[in-house]
Amino acid sequence: MAKLSVVVLAGTEAHSDLARVLNALSLTKESMEAGDEVELVFDGAAVGWIPILVDPEHKLHSMFEGVRDRVAGACEFCAGAFDVKEEIRAAGISFLSEYEGHPSLRRRIADGFQIVTF
């Protein structure tokens, strides 16, 4: 059984960013189905995806909802920097601030997680 921390860093501006988010959601779903220990982390500009993905009209909404219980959270510092803190809070997603306001990837590695970034 694998231990994966899927970290989304992709912004929301380019079409290629949509593909990166799709791939992150897909890996999370595949890992869940395989019985792996998997978490999904939104960091950097990717925190802007949460308000988009919770919109029922967005094409990735149902895929996001299918892995929602694996969302570890969103970077608290970045949520403030990208001005989406209230939207993330309203979506019911936790904030991660383990290291100076950011998720601790080092802690995840120490805990045996492989980090996969998109």
Query: Domain residues for 44?
Result: 3-117
Q: Residue 75 has what pLDDT?
A: 98
Phi and psi, residue 74, nearest 5°: -125, 145
The pLDDT value recorded for residue 38 is 98
Amino acid identity, position 73: G
Q: How many domains does the chain have?
A: 1
Name the residue among 41, 42, 25 with its Cα closest to residue 33. Answer: 25
pLDDT at 2: 97
What mean pLDDT is predicted for residues 52-73?
98
Q: What digits encode the pLDDT tens for the residues 78-115?
A: 999 999 999 999 999 999 999 999 999 999 999 999 99
Bridge partner list, 95: 74
Q: Of all residues in the chain, what percent carry a pLDDT higher than 90?
A: 99
Angle at 20 between CA 115 and CA 109, to 5 degrees: 5
Local confidence band at 21 (pLDDT 50, 70, 90 cut-offs): very high
Length of the chain: 118
pLDDT of residue 118: 98
- Strands 114-117 and 95-96 turn out to be unpaired
pLDDT, residue 64, reads 98
- Which CATH number fits the domain that encloses residue 111? 3.40.1260.10
